[in-house]
Structures are given as C-alpha cells and as structure tokens.
Chains A and B, each alone.
Chain A
Amino acid sequence: MSIQLSIRGMAKRYKTGEGVSDINLDVRKGELITLLGPSGCGKTTVLRSIGGFLKPDAGDILIEDRSVIALPPEKRPTSMVFQSYNLWPHMSVYDNLAFGLQIRKKPKAEIRESIADVLRLVRLPGAEKKSPAQLSGGQQQRVALARSLLLKPAVLLLDEPFSALDAKLRHEMREELREIQSQTGLTMVFVTHDQEEALSLSDRIVVMNHGRIEQIAAPQNIYNEPESLYVAQFIGKMNFLEGVVEADVIRVGELAVPNAKRLAGPAAVVAVRPEDVNLDSGIKEGLPGAVKQIMVLGHYAEVSVNLGKHGIIRSFQSKDAAQALSLGQHVRVSFAKVTSFPKE
C-alpha cells in the first residue's frame, strides 16, 4: 500500500504556549485513520495544518509524495468536513455542491449528474433545491460531506463531524461514513474525542495527549496492547494495581504476573481489563477479596470486589456467573491477561 499522506516532524506552538510537537504520521492510501484524544490535545491543530489553514512552525506535510506545506488551502488536494458544517447559508444545496465543481470548470450537465449521484450516496436524493436553513443538523452535515466527496480529494479531513448530532444519528452517520469509505476508497483523517467512535470506525487510531502522539495502532491493538499508561487509562475500562518488580515477575500481593516488558522497578503498575479478571470461590490461589457490588447490565454484569489494601477491582461476568455470587462473599481474584507499566 502506498503512502497517501505523510506528516514529518510537525510542530506548531500558539502564542499561549499550547500546541503540538513531534507529529510523525504516515497514512496509507484508502485508509481511515482517527486522531483520538481529549479536548485540547491538539487534534484540530494537526488537521488544520494538513488542510492548510494553519502554518506549522516546523516539519513537512506530503500528499502523494509532494510537499504541500507551502500551498494555501485552496491549492491543496484536501477537503475538510467541519464540525459546524459551514454550508453557505445564502446558497441552495445545489449551489453549495456545485461551487467547487464550477471552480474546476466542469460542464454543467456533468455537475448536475454528479450532484444527483452524491446526494443519493449521502441519502438525501432530490434535496437540490432546499436551502441549508431548511435542513436538520444531520442533513446539513450530509450535504457538507457530499460537498467534499464531490471533489474526490486526495485526503478527506473530518473534524468531529458528528459530535453535534444526537447519539442515534451519530451511530447511523458512522456506519454510513464507513460504507461511503469502502465505496469510494477515499483516504480519510477523522478527528474525534469519542473512543467508541474511533474504535468502531478506524483502520488505525492515533492516540494523542498534550500535543503529542502516544500510540498509533489498529483499534484492537490499541485496546489489547496499550503502549503507555495514558493510553491504557484513556481507552476502555481498566483496573490498575500497584506491583513490586522481582526480576522475571511482578508481585501483586500473593499473585505474581510475568514481567513481560522487563521493567526495572522497584515499583510497577499492573493493568487488567475487567473482562480479564477471574473470580473463583473454590481455589486457594489469587488475591483474596469480598464481593462489594453486583451490577447487572443486560447480558453481562459488573462485579466490584474489595481487595483490601489493593483497592477495588472491577470484573465483567456473565449474568449467570454474577447471579451465583452474593454480596460479601469471599472470592479469589486472578488475571487472564495483564499489561504492566513503569510507575511514574
């Protein structure tokens, strides 16, 4: 797979001292990559630099192996779908969509046809004559998406495009976007602070924190093998326990887990997903604890166990297994899979 977009050593510092630094990222052709991180971590800054709306202080940005760093937005082969839609309020849907094609001097008949096509693609067939004010938020965002799709950009940029929509619509739009991406084969960079959105949508996720990239990996790898304590905390639910490094193992009370990363110690943080926490009442191994709370959440249950000085650990159990437990019951806790991090 060829590299469609390459960001090399990019940095941007605002006057306030905030910004991003050391951004290195290669996006493959046809890939949907997500920039994920809490608000203020610099996602928009990276995206706007790709689109040409911001001039980075350092580094280079290449699209299809050509540096675009010196080009203004209107000359870049990118197109952006903004969080606030940014349709032109005085133009009809048709004119909103036609503008970019008219600039590219496409013949009128072709424009009309491709607008009808793209409106079908975003599930708004026949909306040409409507004005943006007559459309709902979701519909406006579909038009904005259509406007970018029409131009067949080398890289499509999306800045939290669905965050202003309600939850149900957001799910729908996510699925549609995924479908559109597989139909068009466009390369997309998608910004979101919603990890569920990132996990469900992306080929790969770029986790950002404080203006830096923490990890770049496929969703399941981000989830299963977080590279830093930050990523482990940010993605999904995770239990954290303090451990003591003893050469090949890390000891958490009576339990020893392998020191897979060969941490130097003396202290380490052991991270366990709730689904990897086993509860047993019959065995002698494992950390002793007492069931503190049982929350049935549909087909599964979240069981909290008090481990005394190791704090409270959460475990996901099947509904049946959870119903076999009672409050205050003594159990032994063991881990199917752990990740460890140096203690900061």
Chain B
Amino acid sequence: MIKGRKEAVLGLIMVSPAFLLLLIIVVLPIVQTFVVSLHSEDGGYDLSRYAFLFTDRLMRMNIVFTLKVTVISSLLVLLVSYAMALFMSFSSGKLVDLIRKTYMIPLFIPGVIATYGLINLLGNHGWLSRMLLPLGIALPRLIFDEKGIVIANLWFNIPFTTMLLTSALAGIPASVIESAKDIGAGRLSVFLRVIFPLSYKTFLVALTFVFMSVIGSFTAPYLLGPNSPQMLGVSMQQVFGIFREQEQAAAMAVFTFLLCSVLGYFYIRSMAKDEAARM
C-alpha cells in the first residue's frame, strides 16, 4: 500500500517535467491566443473577430483556398507516398534501390533553399520551361499559383510520409501476404483485403501529419504562392505584421487550430475504437 503510493508519487514526479513543458509551450499559448481573439474593436469581449472570418469576402476566399490546397496536397502526398512505399516494400531491382537511397534527400535541404530552387525550376522563365520551349510545350502558370504551393507541399511532405508508411508495411509479415496469394488472391485483392487494412492506422497517422503540416505551412506559400487568395498562415502573418491587428490574427490562429482538432478528433476516435475492439 505504502509502496504503491510511493510509486505513484514517483511516477507523477517523473512525468511532471513533460507535463509542465506541454502546459507552457502548448496549452498556455492557446488559451492566451483565444483570450486575445475575443477582444472586440470597441474594447469589449465578443465573437466579432470570428464573425469577420466568415463575412469578409477575402477572408472567406483564403479559408476556402487553404482548405482546397490542404486537401489536394494531402491526398496527393498520401497517394504518391503510399505508392512509393508499396513499390519499395514489395518489389526489388535497381529502381527500387535507387528510390530507397534517394527519397529522403528533400528532408536534408532547408525549406527556403528548396523553395527558391522550385521557383528557379518551375518559374515563368525557369529551367523547365526553357527545356520544354524547343519542344513547343508551354508550361501552365506554376509559381505564384496554387499549383506551386501543392508542388512544394509534395516536395516537403513525401519523404517523411513515405518513411512512415514504409515502416508500417515492413511490419506486415510476408507470411500473411503469402497465405493470401495461396488462396488465390491477385495483387489487387491482396492489397485491398490484407495490406491496406493492416497499414491503414499508419495511413491515418500520416494523413493527420500531412494535413497539419500543410494547413499551418508558411515558407512555401509565402515565397511562391499567389498574392490573393492566400494560405491562412501567410494571411495571418499579414494581418499580424502589416495590418497590426493582433486580435484578428489570434482569431485566425484559433480557427486553424480548430480545423486541425477536427482531424485529431477523428484520429483519436479511430484509435480508441481499435483499442476497444481488441479488449
């Protein structure tokens, strides 16, 4: 009994630094930001800053634009990463070796440098358009456009997502795939009935990661996005730094946080469901 209590106290002491850290760098700022966002223009407290997010035409466009870029980017990243992870896990050959050795490279290039690289490659008079010119192919507008942001998001998110999914696929024993082939399942059936169900949890984790990283991204949309509409991160910086409307920026931050929370909620719920199913 006494020993139990002692252990409990020790446990609390041991987790408290982590808990404190979480409190100071996550919970407090959120609460603080939320309080700031409730300040109205006439010095009182109300939800007018939030109302503005949905009534102002430009703001609404920014939100829609952000969601659109985030959803498209997340889907493309997941699609490409999953395909690459599958290819690396279940095929072999020179190409697989090459991909395995190189796919992490983007992780080691600083974001600003990579973004300028993309501008040089894909811009109006960039490398790609110059190379395609003799062939009579004209590129659509990529830089200072949503396509540019999506491409940058692919560059930044595919390596880590692929790594995550590859390790999930590595955790599927070859034997359960063999037994699926044994009963006559072709590639598609093996994938849909065995591989995907056994890796979808990580798929969900990856989706959550990519969604959050894209929706809160700043560098790439700032450097190569259009002037309007803007991603929320860029717009937030503008409202905060240029228009000096700290309260409005706070409301946007809280709104972005809520968007992420929705995904977090679904993620946690599905984890809890699996946990319950295993009981």
Task: Find out whether the CB atom of B197 lies under 8 angstroms from the CB atom of A100.
Answer: no
Task: Find out whether the CB atom of A103 lies under 8 angstroms from the CB atom of B185.
Answer: yes
Task: Find out whether the CB atom of A90 lies under 8 angstroms from the CB atom of B186.
Answer: no
- Bound complex: CA A73 to CA B177 (Å): 11
- Bound complex: CA A103 to CA B184 (Å): 7
The residues of A with any CB-CB pair to B shorter than 8 Å are: 51, 53, 72-75, 78-80, 82, 84, 86-91, 99-100, 103-104, 133, 144, 147-148, 151
Closest partner residue, chain A, to B182 (CB atom): A80
Task: Find out whether the CB atom of B183 lies under 8 angstroms from the CB atom of A103.
Answer: yes
Task: Find out whether the CB atom of A51 lies under 8 angstroms from the CB atom of B182.
Answer: yes
30 contacts between A and B (CB under 8 A): A73-B178, A73-B182, A74-B182, A74-B184, A74-B185, A74-B186, A78-B182, A80-B178, A82-B175, A86-B175, A86-B178, A88-B176, A88-B179, A88-B180, A88-B194, A89-B198, A90-B197, A99-B180, A99-B183, A99-B185, A99-B193, A100-B184, A100-B185, A103-B183, A103-B184, A104-B184, A133-B278, A148-B183, A151-B183, A151-B184
- Expressed in whole angstroms, the minimum distance between the Cβ of A343 and any Cβ of chain B is 45
Chain B facing A: main interface SS: helix
- Bound complex: CA A82 to CA B173 (Å): 13
A84 CB contacts on chain B under 8 angstroms? 175
Q: Provide the B196-212 mask, 1 if CB < 8 A to any CB of A, else 0.
A: 01100000000000000
- Bound complex: CA A151 to CA B152 (Å): 50
B60 on the interface (CB 8 Å rule)?
no
B182 CB contacts on chain A under 8 angstroms? 51, 73-74, 78-80, 148
A74 CB contacts on chain B under 8 angstroms? 181-186
B179 CB contacts on chain A under 8 angstroms? 80, 82, 86-88, 144, 147
A79 CB contacts on chain B under 8 angstroms? 182-183
Which 3 A/B pairs are nearest by Cβ-Cβ distance? A100-B183, A86-B179, A73-B181
Q: Apart from A82-B179, A103-B183, A147-B183, list 9 A-B contacts with CB within 8 A.
A: A72-B181, A73-B182, A74-B184, A74-B186, A86-B178, A90-B197, A90-B198, A104-B184, A148-B182
- Bound complex: CA A110 to CA B128 (Å): 59
- Expressed in whole angstroms, the minimum distance between the Cβ of A202 and any Cβ of chain B is 23
Q: Counting chain A CB atoms within 10 Å of each CB, which of B179, B194, B278 scores highest?
A: B179
- Bound complex: CA A148 to CA B182 (Å): 9
- Bound complex: CA A90 to CA B197 (Å): 7
B189 on the interface (CB 8 Å rule)?
yes
- Expressed in whole angstroms, the minimum distance between the Cβ of A102 and any Cβ of chain B is 9
- Bound complex: CA A84 to CA B178 (Å): 12
